[in-house]
Amino acid sequence: MLVAERGAARNTLLAYRADLEDCAASVRNLAAADAQDLRRYLAGLGAQGLSPRTQARRLSAMKQFYVFLLREGVRADDPTRLLDAPRIGQSLPKYLSEAEVDSLLEAAKAHPRAALMNAALEILYATGLRVSELLALPRQALAGDAALLLIRGKGGKERIVPLSEAARQASASFAATTGRWLFAGRDPQHALTRQGFALLLKQVALAAGLNPARVSPHVLRHSFASHMLARGADLRSLQMLLGHADIATTQIYTHVLAERLQRLVEAHHPLASNRG
């Protein structure tokens, strides 16, 4: 159902499988379980010290599973209907400062795989792509003087994102040397893996004098979004660039808008300077 009706990505399918297998290992008959069985399972997750976010994700997978069984006529009820999700505190996205991103880009130019890392980081920071979207780019994506990228995102949904001049220049010569994939792994017939790219990125972070624990492809995506908003981009445009299906997902970056509005008031309100 997730594949045929929702076009779910492979990573989404793997996550659902892992969550349901964990539940099945604790609940004797998952398909016939009642609300009390599932409530005990969720309580056990908390006792194991798993975070509320992980508990909520497991419950979400269970809800999808029982809705599917209900629709298919396997069950006459949904045992998750009255189960409460754990409270999840609102966490702000982690991102780098503009100066830190500049240091990262500069360090990429001295990396042993400088051409690859320079092109990859310029594209990531210029577009806000997910790492899976970046590594799935074919070499032809940058054929000619490409100013736009056609991206196939979550659920197979396509969107177009513009490339900055710096990203075009960094990737132009690199694209000519690659095989089928823009970012190939050790075997040119296969794309670079997420784990392989993460390792290269940690090396660049160290060379830039940054804590590698603070640097990841997703942090660069957050940095792109936060810096765009700080410089005046609107949420709706940012939603399209990031490929969010729901603008509520994009609204996690409103903390940046709040900071910018505060600075505007402090800088331009007629009484701000008098009361500083």
Concerning whether 154 is annotated as a catalytic residue, the answer is yes
Concerning whether 222 is annotated as a catalytic residue, the answer is no
Please choose, from the candidates 170, 80, 54, 180, the residue with its C-alpha nearest in 3D space to the C-alpha of residue 117. Answer: 170
- Which is catalytic among the residues 109, 154, 202, 260? 154
Q: How far is residue 93's CA from residue 253's CA, in Å, rounded to a whole number?
A: 7
- Which is catalytic among the residues 16, 41, 95, 253? 253
**Residue 228: Cβ within 10 Å count:** 18
Concerning whether 221 is annotated as a catalytic residue, the answer is yes
**Torsion sign over Cα 186, 187, 192, 196:** negative
Concerning whether 63 is annotated as a catalytic residue, the answer is no
- Which of 148-154's residues contact partners 24+ apart within 8 Å by CB, and which partners? 149/123, 151/127, 151/243, 153/243, 154/9, 154/12, 154/130, 154/243, 154/245
Concerning whether 218 is annotated as a catalytic residue, the answer is yes
- Which is catalytic among the residues 57, 58, 111, 130? 130
- Which is catalytic among the residues 6, 152, 218, 260? 218
- Which is catalytic among the residues 168, 221, 222, 227? 221
Q: Indicate which residues carry an active-site annotation.
A: 130, 154, 218, 221, 244, 253
